[in-house]
Structure 1
Amino acid sequence: MEEKITGRAADRVVRVLAQKIRDGVIAHGAPLPAERDLMVEFGISRTVAREAISALSSQGLVEAKPRHRPVARKPGFDAAMDATGSIVGNLLLQPGGVWNLFDTRILVEASLVRSAAEKANKHDIAALETALLANKAAIHDSDLFYQTDMQFHRIFYNISGNPVWPAVHRAYVTWLAPQWGQMPRLPERNKANFAAHAAIMDAILMRDPDAAEAALKSHLMQAWDQVRLTFGDI
């Protein structure tokens, strides 16, 4: 009975605080009331207050860090992706987990580059050209090349104007970072990746969605071959 009562009490706190965050009463980035204040306001125990904060965190409405007071997060697609991060992290530890996630990235980006080849406007093209030039300039600086590589791919997620896709790109980068961060970064490999980016760009400039998709898939499968050489099948 005590457990059920505790659960109902936490649910009530979650409902009230979630509504305040959605309405902006508790602003994005603002700290939540201290545990003691929540205990007084709602007439609850410290255990119930912590249970409520944990539930809000799992919903992506609160960012909780050790030794820091939890802060509110405005509901959005980034928050939704962050809320699934721990689940995805566990899935990646399963056999084939990293490939399964990377395979979804290939499917998503193949569709996005096709769309870019068909619909990219002059501003999108300019953004891609700027990113490609930065990527070329960074070939001999592998850390910078990694950043410019991500930026080039990020633009495809931005072109549609759908806010879901940039959040998906950010999630892919975050979820795959532990593997990508351990990859050997050599100028020769950077040159090959830049050449692949240039091929994708050429296909988009030619307004050829089939060629853009083929170049993208070839590029990402080559990237995956490098992952397998480093880690084996993961």
Structure 2
Amino acid sequence: MQKFDTLAKPPRLTDQIAQVLAQRIGEGELLPGERLPAEKDMAESFGVSRSVVREAVSMLKYDGLVETRQGSGVFVSSNPNTRSFRIESGLLDGAADLRAVFELRSIVESAAAGLAAERRAPEDIAVLRGHLEAMATDIAAGREGVDADTAFHTAIARAADNAYLLRFAEFLGGALREAIGAARRNSAQFPGYPDAVQAEHRLIFDGIAAGDPEAAEAAMRQHVQAAMTRLGLTTKKANPEEINDNRTRRGARDSRPRPVAKAPGPGPAAA
């Protein structure tokens, strides 16, 4: 029997649109400083949803090709030939590369959570609470909740008050969007897992709201490790009961002195 070469996986719509826009920028069809068409117009032109266009533009943004101007839109960067750090989406099809990116995520996002616990403002807590409640609503409705999940992590980086952490977190959120969705789909197959995922996010929120960098960092590290387990990137078996055990241990520490921080206000009800 004749053997055939394995067919390569077709590129995602997001990647295709990002490549088309990048090509237009590279060939000078879109000039430095020129405003990109509105998201709605590009979606109609490409025949895709606005969310696909939004993600494609995000890829270009974190590749240094375009930039957002508050209230004005998205523009071609003044020096689009200067390319920034990038994780090619095609690399994330392999377990080894995806594991490496999640290890990077653990380091960066744990540090961001710790800084957020030290620097967060009351409005940051309100935003985080809103995303946490949105995730709970999505879980109750049987939805994946990827948008709220990604927004929650980005809001943590914003609360850390470090522009470079924020840019990197936004980049990671776009690069790992499919992986986050896969992790949530895997979680939904097992009783108790969606609630465990929500509890992981709640622990992160609690640490930040309480101004406890150590607790916030530990909770984020545990969350990323658990996500890796749900994606089959580790050999350790995930146990939803560990989340409750960690909540109990954290409660035992609540009586120790906390760093002086701005009052966060009450947290949301547990999902």
Aligned residue number for residue 155 of structure 1: 155
**Given residue 225 of structure 1, which amino acid in structure 2 is its aligned partner?**
T
Q: CA deviation at 1:157?
A: 1.8
Compared with structure 1, are the counterparts of its residues 147 and 92 closer, same or farther at alpha carbon in structure 2 (3 Å cutoff)? closer
Compared with structure 1, are the counterparts of its residues 190 and 165 closer, same or farther at alpha carbon in structure 2 (3 Å cutoff)? same
**How do 1:133-144 residues align onto structure 2 when only pairs under 5 Å count?**
133-144=133-144
SS at match of 2:35: coil
Q: CA deviation at 1:124?
A: 0.8
Aligned residue number for residue 216 of structure 1: 220
**Given residue 84 of structure 1, which amino acid in structure 2 is its aligned partner?**
R
Aligned residue number for residue 186 of structure 2: 184
Distance 2:233 2:159 in 1: 33
115-124 or 149-158: which moved more?
A: 149-158
Q: CA deviation at 1:146?
A: 2.4
Aligned residue number for residue 84 of structure 1: 86
Contact persistence 2:154–2:169 (CA under 8 A): yes
Q: Deviations 1:79-124 (Å, cap 9, x if unpaired)?
A: 955x835xx3354355611111111111011111100111101111
Q: Deviations 1:147-182 (Å, cap 9, x if unpaired)?
A: 212221110122244443343233223322343343
Runs of 4+, deviation exceeding 6 Å: 229-232
Percent pairwise identity: 26
- Per the normalisation by structure 1, the TM-score is 0.61
Distance 1:132 1:188 in 2: 18
**Given residue 224 of structure 1, which amino acid in structure 2 is its aligned partner?**
M
Contact persistence 1:145–1:190 (CA under 8 A): no
Q: For the pair shown, which has the larger CA radius of gyration, 1 or 2?
A: 1
Aligned residue number for residue 96 of structure 2: 96
Looking at secondary structure, tell me which structure has more helix per residue: 1
Q: Which runs of 5 or more residues in structure 1 are unaligned?
A: 1-13, 31-58, 63-70
- Number of residue pairs aligned between Structure 1 and Structure 2: 177
Distance 1:161 1:80 in 2: 25
**Given residue 221 of structure 1, which amino acid in structure 2 is its aligned partner?**
Q
Distance 1:124 1:76 in 2: 33
Distance 1:15 1:147 in 2: 31
Q: Deviations 1:37-96 (Å, cap 9, x if unpaired)?
A: xxxxxxxxxxxxxxxxxxxxxx7437xxxxxxxx9623599x955x835xx335435561
Aligned residue number for residue 76 of structure 2: 73
Distance 1:72 1:119 in 2: 31
SS at match of 1:228: coil
**How do 1:24-173 residues align onto structure 2 when only pairs under 5 Å count?**
24=33, 27-29=34-36, 60-61=64-65, 73-74=76-77, 80=83, 84-85=86-87, 88-93=88-93, 96-173=96-173
Q: Which runs of 5 or more residues in structure 2 are unaligned?
A: 1-24, 38-62, 67-73, 237-271
Distance 1:200 1:110 in 2: 10
Compared with structure 1, are the counterparts of its residues 29 and 120 closer, same or farther at alpha carbon in structure 2 (3 Å cutoff)? same
Contact persistence 2:91–2:97 (CA under 8 A): yes
SS at match of 1:28: coil
Q: CA deviation at 1:208?
A: 1.0
C-alpha RMSD of matched pairs (Å): 3.9
Compared with structure 1, are the counterparts of its residues 125 and 100 closer, same or farther at alpha carbon in structure 2 (3 Å cutoff)? same
Contact persistence 1:142–1:185 (CA under 8 A): no
